[in-house]
Structures are given as structure tokens and as C-alpha cells.
Structure 1
């Protein structure tokens, strides 16, 4: 059984719906600023420290280049500097999301619950809980580290490496963010990882559209502070739409293939 898939534009539209709540429910959305501001201060401080020490770090990591031609050495280390900052940027976005969801679970549960109530239907009594949210946040941070390493390694490719790494990092990080954000309202309904994966696998383009838009907004300085509450709300809209489509008659039932013939006994 496969529900009709939502497209990239529909996924992006769920973030727009979440942003609209800033006009419709400003007090509710302001709750989401508290953990976002706190985590932003930590992440920005770490990024500033990295920028200040990146030259020394790269010089320490590349002693083999000390005897190179000065122009070649400086160009090589400049490319590494850009890649380190690019990877750190991707890591900071995913880390920001993971830490913010872990620290601010009570705040974002309130936003999620209000969106659920506005949509009607069956609404879970409670969210995933702080401990579960913290564990999910840790997994997200570890995934972000793996993404940053991937971006760095791809960026080492000559000529097109930096461009490909930036584009791929945006897509991969966007998918990771979308999966984590959308999993919250689904997990609150008792859906395990396999069930969530099966449901969301029917809407890959919607997940990509939503995640890439969230990721792009997070790359804007301090954009994550304002967008994080909207992303939580938008993810709830996306999850509910996926559930409604799966529960509706808008499905195609795949025919069951006939069983193979039983060979005669020898």
C-alpha cells in the first residue's frame, strides 16, 4: 500500500505554514526562542574559537607542506581553511538542532501539542519525553559529525570539490534535520523507527523540500533562532499530512504475486 507522494514544493510549504504561526500565535512561538538563544550562544562561541585557531590547527595538521613552494603551500592551506569552516558550518547547524531539541523539549512539546490540537483528530497525551529527546539529540549530533567529515573529504576533490561538498552537505543535512524533526510527532504516537521510516519513505521529495529549506534558513546568521519554532510546527504539519494520506482512501494496493508452484516430490 503506497499513499500518493507529496512533492518538494509541498514539503517546503510546511515550513511556510510553521512560519505563519509567528503572526497567528506569537506568544506560543516565543517559547521556542528560549532554548534556541541559549544553544546559539554556545554554538557561536565554539565557531568563533575555531575561526581564531583554524590557521594554527591547519598548520599543525599539515607539517608535510612546510617545504613546499610558498604559493602552493598557502593555496593548499587556504583551501583546507575553507573546507574546515564549511564542515564546521554544517556541523554547527545539526548540532544546534540536536542540542536545542534536547534542551528545549518542554517548550517545543507545547508548540507541537498546540499545532496538533489546531488540526483536530486524535492527539497524543504527551510527547516523547526529555530523556528520549536528549538521546535523539545526541544521535543527531553524531550524525552531524559524520556529515561534516564527509563534506570535508569531498571538498578535497580538485576543481569542483568545494561546490559539490557544499551542495551535498545542504541536501544530506537537510534530510537528517527533516527526519529528526518529523519523527517527534510520529514517535509520540508510538511509532517505532521502522514504522516511521516506512511512512516517510513514501514522501522523499517532501522530506527533502522541508529539510533543505530549514537547513538553508539555519545557515543565515541567527536564522535558527527564529526558524526553529517554525520548523517544529512545520514538521508537525508534515507528519499529520503523511498520516492522513496513509489513513485515507488515497492509496494504491499492490497486487500480491502468486505463490511459486510446489515442486513434485522426488
Structure 2
């Protein structure tokens, strides 16, 4: 329980750092706003064209009775929009970090300097760092996609499945957001994507303590614009924690202690 609450305090640390620097808070909100506009626009387009898309996907139902054909296509349309919405929620932060990579790198380095953390890397140039960021973002989407499909299928089970999908979705989202938020430090040090999984598994309670409130808050419209830059800072500290075997690396001014 102590590790879980310690992880939750890391998100609070992120808010504390950014409240002392409104410029960085505003800077971090811009990529999140762009991602929200893109994803909502895509979802809106899918909803608008879903009748035509569903009809194209179910030509075999053209000869069915009208009621049966309509029921099938309405259910399939709901399934497509629901799956797209769930995938969008899980990939929102990956897209935001991809769009705002330089912004969030600057925010993370600002936080590290404020707290006296090690900002050294493996010496890779900006082009190589960008390539790593794109590759890791694609890997994160590859992780989120099958997870979204599995959760959607579970959610089709009446009552019990719907409850399980909500709970498992929150836990899965917490893990994904943690993987995303530690990426700046891991990427700068040249550590592969798989190393994130390994290191975070060693500190599951702390990771879920950080990721669960961050994920749930990111589901709240508008609030996510503030939560994401705060989570970037918290994830940066989390990365230093797990890479330094849990050593307390947070300046007491920001730890809430």
C-alpha cells in the first residue's frame, strides 16, 4: 500500500512542479489539445460514415428481412464506434507525446533540473531520438490495440463482463500510461521498449499508484490538458525511481512531505 500511495504522490509532484511554472503547463497543454481535436474529428467522421461502412461490411445481409438486417447493422455500427473510442482513449497519450515530443522533453528536463536529477543520456542525436520516439509510439499502439479488442469482447458479456471490462480497462490503461510517461527518460538513455516493461514490473504497486489516477483523470474532458504535462513530470520521476532501484529522488519541496 505504501508503494501504491508513493506512486500516486508522483502525479502530485508533477502538478506541484508545473504550478510553479505556468509557462511549461501551458506548453504541455498544446499537444494534448491538438491530439484531442484529431481523435475527436476522426471519431466524428467514423460515426457519420458508419452506416455506409457497415453496409459495405455486411453485403450478405442485403437479402435478409429488414428488421434482422437493421438490427445486425446497428449492433455492428455500435461495436465499431465503441472499439474506435476505446482505442482512441488508449492511444491518446501516445499520439500526444508523439506530437509534442520536443515540448515534453523540455518539460521533463525542466523538472529534472528543478529536482536535481540526472539529465545525462547516451549521446544520441536529435534525429535518432526522434526515430526512437516514433518507433516506441508505434509499439505502444501495438500494445493498446489488442488490449482494446480483448476488453471490448469482454464488455459484450452481459453485466459481469461489462463490470470486468471497466475494471480491467482502468488497470490496463494505468499500465499503458505508465509505459508512455517513463519513455522520455528511458529513450534518452537508449533503453529498449522491452526494458520499460521489465523495470516497471519490478515496481507494480508504485506504477499502478501513479498510472491509475493519471489514466482516470485523463478521461475527463479539458482536465486532460493539465493532467498530461503533470503526468509527464510524474512519469519522469517514476523513471528515475525504477532505474535507481526505488531510491527517493524527489526534492522534498515537490514531494508533498
The normalised TM-score by structure 1 is 0.77
**In structure 1, C-alpha distance between the alignment counterparts of 2:3 and 2:62, rounded to whole Å:** 48
CA distance in 2, matches of 1:20, 1:216: 19
Q: Which residue of the partner structure matches residue 32 of structure 2?
A: 36
The answer for the alignment partner of 1:187 in structure 2 is 187
Gaps of 5+ in 1: 249-266
Secondary structure of the 1:220 match is coil
TM-fit CA distance, 1:46: 0.7
Q: Give CA-to-partner distance per residue, 1:72-124, whole Å, 9 cap, x none.
A: 974x7666555444432321123221222112111000011011112214321
SS at match of 1:122: coil
Task: Confirm whether residue 98 of structure 1 aligns to residue 94 of structure 2.
Answer: yes
In 2: Cα distance, 1:210 partner to 1:54 partner: 37
Residues 131 and 177 of structure 1, relative CA distance in 2, 3 Å threshold: same
Aligned ranges 1:114-263 → 2 under 5 Å: 114-124=110-120, 129-193=129-193, 195-246=195-246
The equivalent residue for 1:254 is: none
Bigger radius of gyration among the two:
1
Q: Deviations over 1:144-177 (max 9, x none)?
A: 2222211222122233223322322222122112
Question: 1:101 touches 1:134 (CA, 8 Å); kept in 2?
Answer: no
Count matched residues: 243
Secondary structure in 2 matching 1:7: helix
> 1:185-223 CA deviation, whole Å, 9 max, x = no partner?
133234344544443222112212222222212221233
Shift of 1:235: 0.2
Contact 1:36 1:225 in 2 (8 A): yes
Question: 2 CA distance for matches of 1:209 and 1:84?
Answer: 32
State the 1:11 CA deviation. 1.8
1:16 to 12, 17, 24: 12
TM-score by length of 2: 0.79
Q: Secondary structure at the match of 1:179?
A: helix
Aligned to 1:158, what secondary structure does the other structure show? Answer: coil
Q: Which has the higher helix share?
A: 2
Give the match's secondary structure for 2:182. helix
1:232 offset after TM fit, Å?
A: 0.6
Distance 1:66 1:174 in 2: 45
Say whether 1:50 aligns with 2:51.
no
1:109 aligns with 2:98: no
223 and 61 in structure 1: CA distance in 2 versus 1, 3 angstrom threshold: farther
